[in-house]
Amino acid sequence: MAAPSLQDGIDKAGSPVKLLWKPNAAPWLPEVVEREYTGWRQEQAAWHESVAILNLSHHMFDMFIEGPDATRLLADVGANNFETFAVGQAKQYIPVTKDGNIVTDGILSRDGENKYTLSGVPAAQHWVQYHGEKGGYDVTYVTDPSSAFRKGADPKLFRYQIQGPLASDLVERAFGGPLPPTKFFHSSPVTLDGMDFRALRHGMAGQAGYEFIGPWQHAEAVKEALLRAGEPLGLVQVGAFAYATPSVESGWIPSPVPGIYTDPDLLDYRKHIALYGVEGQRPLGGSFFSENIEDYYCSPYELGYGKMISFNHDFIGRDALQKAKDNVARKKVTLMFNTDDVRRALGDDPGFVLSYSRNRVESGSALVGVTCQTASLDPVGTILSLTLIDKEYAEPGTEVSIVWGEHPGPGTAPDADLGFPRIRATVQPAPFNQHARTLYRRNA
């Protein structure tokens, strides 16, 4: 018996929203990593004040894409510029539907002339492989899922991030000197104790750093070498709680709702992909509720990816993006929660807060935005929320309120007064971190 498809799940539930609506769902956390090593507050402080190491080896899906048509395929289904995509470079990959809604983003690394690694939430990988197979492209695909799906097998790659003001000091101690000058999101080959791998120039929450990527056989030895080099500098291992939060500071909205659930032309696609994948299982919840899944869609312009879109080639969604670029209704911002209201709504010590709920953002009683990720940021002293908000309310300093609660979903009016508390918030830029906003993305 064939495994159920996404379309099977939608048909059985009655609608995409009924399939996905799961109020109070536990937030996603990276797999096979301790939730806390020294405490989430200390771990957040480390990448702001000293140096931190993060293990990304287990929670990311990788797809290795190779063949004579690899570049053509990725360009045909992605909005990025491939004419300026160098070997050794990585980009935020932007696949969109024909209506201009994002499928989801991913990190695409160019490993050779026609050899790539696409990493991250697998919705982008499903999109690429489906179109590659349907279009007859001469390409091979090898998928390495996250450790939650490997059934005990080891990953193919290790990934360790070294981040924070002392990251360069740690790297020099480990490698016996500075690494070759490398642009942001470009990589260089490196050797440590006879082990060859790559160093991707990276950063999170505005701090300098590297992501070291290489074959799993060297994983433990590389980690131990980095830990030894970092010990005199106070290196802190970052656990799952803290790991999930820097995206709020750096302005990256993880896993937007794929714009694939309603287009009749994508019926075959929905029948092709599995129900028990990210597209059929990533929960929706929060105080914002709509029966129409399209109200959860977003465009790459709203996510801040406009500068990465290139119209120098034809690709799925090109016409829609050209029409939309001058008519973007919402903007990505950061909301800074009022601490007094947080205490009233969540208690004097709310502890660690992490939520991917879509919460209503209001001005007066009018809906003006929707949150996408919310997290405690101890170095900031409050809770921050990445939010898509109507442009007229996007000016920094604007005061709005967040409706804090979980709508029960189908069967209750979207705008029903459920007595949820309102938390005042102030609009701030996204990225929230000034360094991330002004410096480290300059060469992206």
- The confidence score (pLDDT) of residue 348 equals 93
- Residue 434 reports pLDDT greater than 70: no
- Residue 334 reports pLDDT greater than 90: yes
Q: What is the mean pLDDT of residues 232-250?
A: 96
Residue 287: band (very low, low, confident or very high) from pLDDT cuts 50, 70, 90: very high
Percentage with pLDDT > 70 across the chain: 96
Q: Taking each helix axis from N to C terminus, what angle separates 219-230 and 167-175, rounded to the nearest 10 degrees?
A: 120
Residue 142: band (very low, low, confident or very high) from pLDDT cuts 50, 70, 90: very high
> What b/e sequence results for 398-417 when a residue is b if at least 16 CB atoms lie within 10 Å of its CB, and e otherwise?
bebbbbbbbbebeeeeeeee
Query: Which residues make Cβ contacts (< 8 Å) with residue 347, sequence separation at least 6?
Result: none
- The confidence score (pLDDT) of residue 442 equals 38
CB-CB neighbours of 111 under 10 Å: 18
Walk me through the domains of the chain, giving residue ranges and CATH numbers.
Answer: 40-60+151-250 (3.30.1360.120), 330-438 (2.40.30.110)
pLDDT 10s digits, 42-79:
999 999 999 999 999 999 999 999 999 999 999 999 99
- Residue 443 reports pLDDT greater than 80: no
pLDDT 10s digits, 344-376:
999 999 999 999 999 999 999 999 999 999 999
Side-chain-side CA neighbours of 354 within 13 Å: the count stands at 18
Q: What is the mean pLDDT of residues 284-291?
A: 98
- Residue 226 reports pLDDT greater than 80: yes
